[in-house]
Amino acid sequence: MQLLTCDNVTKIYGSGEAKVTALDQINLSVNKGEFVAIVGASGSGKSTLLHLLGGVDRPSGGKIWIEDTDISTLSEEKLAVFRRRKVGLIYQFYNLIPTLDVRKNILLPLLLDGRKPDEARFSEIVTTLGLADRLNHLPSQLSGGQQQRVAIGRALIYRPALLLADEPTGNLDRKNSEETVELLKLSHSRYRQTVLLITHDEKIALEADRIITIEDGKIVSDEVMKR
C-alpha cells in the first residue's frame, strides 16, 4: 500500500539572480512500512524534500499525497494539525523545549492537542528508549544521545504515519549513532513505521530497505536493497 506519493514536486527558493531550484520535478512513491535512506551531496535538496513531506514548507509546484490527503492544498491550520499527528520529525539538533522535562517533551504533540496521554504507550516508548529513569530531567541534564532519544520518543508518541529523520546521528559519536539507528529500526519493525532517513553515513544508508540518491534537486538513483 502506498503511503506517500510525490507528483512532479518542485521547490524554488528566491527569485531573479537569487533563484535556486532546490527540487526539480520529483516523482516518488513510498509504501507503508518501508525504511528509506536518502543520500546525496550537501545542497542537493534532501532537507528540502523532507520539509515538504513533513508539511513544514510547501512545494512551488506539484502534489504531495500522504495517505489520502494532498497536503499541498491544506490550509495553514490543517497543515499544522497534519504535522503534529501524521509525521514525526527528528533533526540533527534535537529541537527539544529546554524548559520542559523529558516526560513533557515526549508528550508535547498530545498536550498541544489537549489530549490525554496513553500511559501504556508512553511507558513502552520510554522503556524502549532507555529513558524511564530520566523522565523528570531537563534536556540540559541529558547527554546528546539521550536528547536524541527524547526527540525520537516525541516523534513516535502519536504513532505517526511517517517518521522523517534529517541526519539524526550527525551530532552523535559512533556508539550513540548506532543506538539511534537501532531505535529507528526498532520503531520500524515493532510499530511498522514508515521511515525516511537522510544520512551522510554510507554504513547507515546500507541498513535501509531502499536508498534514494538526490543530485541537484533530482532523484538520480532509487535502489531497493537485496537481503
Ligand X SMILES: Nc1ncnc2c1ncn2[C@@H]1O[C@H](COP(=O)(O)OP(=O)(O)OP(=O)(O)O)[C@@H](O)[C@H]1O
Q: Which residues here bind Mg ion, judged by CB under 5 A? A: 47
Least separation in angstroms between CB 82 and Mg ion: 22
Least separation in angstroms between CB 166 and Mg ion: 6
93, interface contact from Mg ion, ligand X, none, CB < 5-8 Å by kind = none
23-37: b (≥16 Cβ within 10 Å) or e: bbebebebeeebbbb
Least separation in angstroms between CB 44 and ligand X: 4
44, interface contact from ligand X, Mg ion, none, CB < 5-8 Å by kind = ligand X
Strand extents, DSSP E, 59-199: 61-66, 69-70, 87-90, 162-166, 194-198
Among residues 13 and 93, whose Cβ is nearest to ligand X? 13
Give Rg (Cα) of the chain.
17
> Which residues sit opposite 84 in a β-bridge?
none
Among residues 43 and 130, whose Cβ is nearest to ligand X? 43
Q: Which residue in the shown chain puts its C-beta closest to Mg ion?
A: 47
Least separation in angstroms between CB 147 and ligand X: 20
129, interface contact from ligand X, Mg ion, none, CB < 5-8 Å by kind = none
173: three-class secondary structure by DSSP: coil
Least separation in angstroms between CB 118 and ligand X: 34
Neighbours of 75 (CB within 10 A): 8
Interatomic CA distance for residues 24 and 42, integer angstroms: 16
Place of cell 517533551: 105
Interatomic CA distance for residues 162 and 184, integer angstroms: 12
Site for ligand X, residues 5 to 64, rule: CB under 6 A: 13-14, 20, 22, 40, 42-48
Q: Which residues bind ligand X (CB under 6 A)?
A: 13-14, 20, 22, 40, 42-48
